[in-house]
Structure 1
Amino acid sequence: MNLLVAEIQTHTGQNVLVIIDDLDKLDLGDVEKIFKNHIKALFQPAFRIIYTIPIASLRDAVLQSTLVSESNDQIVTMPVSKLFARGERRSSNPVPIDQMMQPLCEILHKRISTELLPPDIATQITLYSGGVLRELVRLVNICCRICLRQVRRGQDSVIDGTVLAQAVKEIRLDFETTLSKADYATLQTTYERFTPDDPKAQDFLDLLHGLHVLEYRNDQVWYDLHPIVIDLLKLKGLIS
């Protein structure tokens, strides 16, 4: 591999950067095995590589120490965009942080024109994403699939409130099917306190990995539920 990269760099005059994405979507157990058991091999290539890993895996003190040591402390946490100040979402008329909202809305309109995705719906999609880019794309992709089905039936279609409601319902059902009674209790506690009883408990790490819970950072780490999970708990009468 090093010889191949050297050949590329010689012919292009540019440095090679390899990005290995989507490792953050693997099961936590698999991620830990990969990075604990094969860390030397992963960092052996003599060129720059970016690996993605789940945020929940950094709760493992041994794994985090290994990554810090082997990467020369080159771990970069990709923060979730904080769309609301802590606690603001609980108010009767929550006001999002415009400077956080705007870039995500712009991303949507770079992919889809305002004729097909009105600005007010783009704002709602952004709010439902919780500030997670992956969720933003996931939600709008589901909206597009719904619209495509309508077009195939000979209907004109745009992403409106009805389409968005269908997409949100699909994601809410996906979240619901994975939750146990204990999970709901953990979610309630996290919603009420902005932190679980034990941030290193496996059930909480699974919820964090599954994006049921989102991690935010400013002066300290705090947590909130995915907006669609909040809707789910409200539907079940678990929170008000």
Structure 2
Amino acid sequence: MNDHRARAKAFFNALDLDKPIEFGVAGLVDGGLDRQLYVENIHGDGEFDLVQQLADQIDFAASAGAYLFTGNRGTGKTTELLRLAKILDDLGCEVFYIDLTEYLILTQRIEITDFLFAVLGAFSEKITARFGENPGKPGFFARVCSFLQSDVKLTEVKLPAGPMELKASLQQNPTFKEELQKKTRGLVEQIVKQARTFAGEAVEYVRDQRQDPDRKVVLIVDSVERLRGVGDSADVREVFKSAETLFASHADKLRFTGLSVVYTVPPYLSALAGGLGAYYAGGRIYTLPSVHIYQCRPASGVCPAPYALGEEKMRAIVERRYQAWRDFLSEAQLARLALSSGGDLRDYFRMLRLAITRSPMRDALALSDAVLRDTEDAVRSDMLPIAADDRAWLARIMASHKPELPSLDELPDFARLQQGKYILQYRNGDDWFDVHPLLRREVGEG
């Protein structure tokens, strides 16, 4: 392997955003990156720390509560949740973390029943992994199996043979999940009662193991924001609507005595913040915006102006992962890709990786502006073509920097645009929105 190719591969592999940065709390994630890679205050100007605010709310509260946390995929959300875990651990809390993609299909509609089965089942597994089984107390998946065998008659699929089969079916079998939802809709109160009984016993077990009767127990439930439909438009709307129903209509069922829970939620639910946040502890949805790469919310009809400190932070993110990046890009070129990403870390790393793979084809490592244009076009093409009605909506957002949501009936369409990163969310004093920079020309020309 020639030296050019080896160095390009090293740079490419240093830009892995699928692995979160971990902060030293053992047993939360496998294969996390070293905390020395973390760059502070990338989502704001340093005057506020959203994660510290959430940690303070949990620490100050005399009773346990349910909290909502959101952010687009690509904002560094999981890393920030692991930082939250570290802060809480330092404050003396017992913190557990679950990635819901390992326990539940997130490309189908979600209901309170299967959601509770997955969340409490995962919590049960994490407790057992840390402390061993609670003598005389079955795990939650085992309890659900017993409940299904005695109270639920499935006609389209077979009942799982045991806890491991139930876990696998929830995560991998769409037909089972759909049938389970149908047959348990009339049994919600019974299921909630079982969930609360288990949560209470689990908290007491954790406290007994730590010999601390007042120890706060916190569960972080990550990846719920990945919930999305993958079929036709009706299916997409149904899945988005199910997330709204889960968190808006069942808020009381997501709280447990003695157990503080932080749920990630799809970012489009922040459009309901006036009504939704009030049902949860903290009285708000804790929203992680895109990287603070613009100066402030611009006036109507004005494009956002670059923020020099934000560009420095984006450069530092790369610098800490691969110090020799200047062999490939000039500072101006790196700043160009940072601005083209709109502060979305996933798109930023994606464009860098696409560009880096072109380097071994050249006599020198340095990349040309033509290569950067190609990488921008590649990311842009994933968002094209834009339907005429979407283009008109995006144009209004680009002009006003507001959601321009005509009614809550249109929330699923707003969700689709936000999840597809046609729209990015920022915070400079208050929350505001803008069209992805790579789409401004297309939207403006429309």
TM-score normalised according to structure 1 size: 0.72
Matched, 1:76 2:267: no
Structure 2 counterpart of 1:173: 381
Equivalences for residues 174-193 of structure 1 within 5 A: 174-177=382-385, 179-193=386-400
* 1:126 is the counterpart of 2:349: no
1:20 aligns with 2:227: no
Residue 144 (1) aligns with residue 353 (2): yes
**1:9–1:16 CA contact under 8 A, matched in 2:** no
**SS of equivalent residue, structure 1 residue 60:** helix
Distance, in Å, in 2 between the alignment partners of 1:76 and 1:52 is 9
What is residue 254 of structure 2 aligned with on the other side?
42
From 257, 271, 281, the equivalent of 1:59 is: 271
TM-score w.r.t. length of structure 2: 0.42
The C-alpha deviation readout for 1:53-107, integer Å capped at 9, x for no partner, is 233212236xx6344323352532223325143159957xx85222232222211
Amino acid at match of 1:223: F
Q: Structure 2 vs 1, CA of residues 111 and 22 (structure 1 numbering), >3 Å: closer, same or farther?
A: farther
Correspondence for 1:106: 316
Shift of 1:190: 2.2
Decide which structure has the larger Cα Rg and report it: 2
Q: Does 1:230 align with 2:416?
A: no
Alpha-carbon displacement from aligned partner over 1:106-157 (angstroms, at most 9, x marks no partner)? 11222233234543232112211223xxx22333234325534765x79765
- 8 Å CA contact 2:315, 2:334 repeated in 1: yes
Amino acid at match of 2:224: L
198 and 75 in structure 1: CA distance in 2 versus 1, 3 angstrom threshold: closer
Q: Is the Cα contact below 8 Å between 1:195 and 1:223 reproduced in 2?
A: yes
Give, in whole Å, the separation in 2 of the partners of 1:30 and 1:167.
Answer: 36
Alignment RMSD, CA only? 3.7
Structure 2 SS opposite 1:176 = coil
The Cα shift of 1:213 comes to 2.0
Cα separation, partners in 2 of 1:144 and 1:43, compared to 1, 3 Å: same
User: Mean alpha-carbon deviation: is it higher for 9-18 or for 183-192?
Assistant: 9-18
Aligned to 1:161: 369
The higher relative CO (CA closer than 8 Å, separation ≥ 6) is in: 2
Contact kept in structure 2, 1:118 and 1:160, CA below 8 Å: no
- Code of the aligned partner of 1:176: L
3-state SS of paired residue (1:224)? strand
CA distance in 2, matches of 1:155, 1:25: 42
Q: Distance in 2 between matches of 1:162 and 1:45?
A: 58
- 1:186 touches 1:204 (CA, 8 Å); kept in 2? no
Unaligned runs of 5+ in 1: none
Contact 1:195–1:222 at 8 Å: present in 2 too? Answer: yes
Q: Residues 69 and 147 (structure 1 numbering): CA distance in 2 closer, same or farther, change over 3 Å?
A: same
Q: Secondary structure at the match of 1:198?
A: coil
**Number of equivalenced pairs:** 227
Mark the CA change 1:96 to 1:180 in structure 2 (over 3 Å): closer, same or farther. same
User: Unmatched 5+ residue regions in structure 2?
Assistant: 1-123, 125-198, 229-239
- Between the aligned partners of 1:9 and 1:160, the Cα distance in structure 2 is 62
Aligned partner letter, 2:220 = I
